[in-house]
Structure 1
Amino acid sequence: MLPCALAILALTGLVGRSTMPELAGKLGVSAASPLLLLDQIHFDDRNLPILYSRLFFRPDYFVFHVVRKR
């Protein structure tokens, strides 16, 4: 059995987009409605990319808070 990689870091872009026609029906909105897109690459403890994801969110259902550290 292979060990399971654990994501410890994700680089994420948060972008406003218009709903594509193929997603509109699945999300229950009209085409060209606003969406939030999280475009992410997840990395393991060796800094190797292990997952790529594109997640679409309706802005009337989700609110995101960003914490930035330096």
Structure 2
Amino acid sequence: MRSITKIVSKMALLVIVFILVALACYFSKSMILTVLVGSIVSPILTVRFYFLLFDLERILKRRKSDVDSDD
């Protein structure tokens, strides 16, 4: 259960960071910042989020198979 909590908290943190970055780009007048974030930072955050999502899915499937095998 601890690993699920850890993954979900990391995912929540990534969502918060992504929202803050999006707000910074929205309120920024610098086009360079927007392009930099749009082309580098946002894809990195998105890929990291999906890796965490796949890890969570794998852990949940493993837990489900463990419960099913106990029956």
With the shorter chain as reference, the TM-score category is under 0.3
Q: Give the TM-score of the pair, scaled to structure 2.
A: 0.25
Considering fraction of residues, name the structure with more helix: 2
**Considering only CA atoms, is the larger Rg found in Structure 1 or Structure 2?**
2
Report 1 or 2 for greater relative contact order, CA contacts < 8 Å, sequence distance ≥ 6. 2
Q: Give the TM-score of the pair, scaled to structure 1.
A: 0.26
Considering fraction of residues, name the structure with more strand: 1
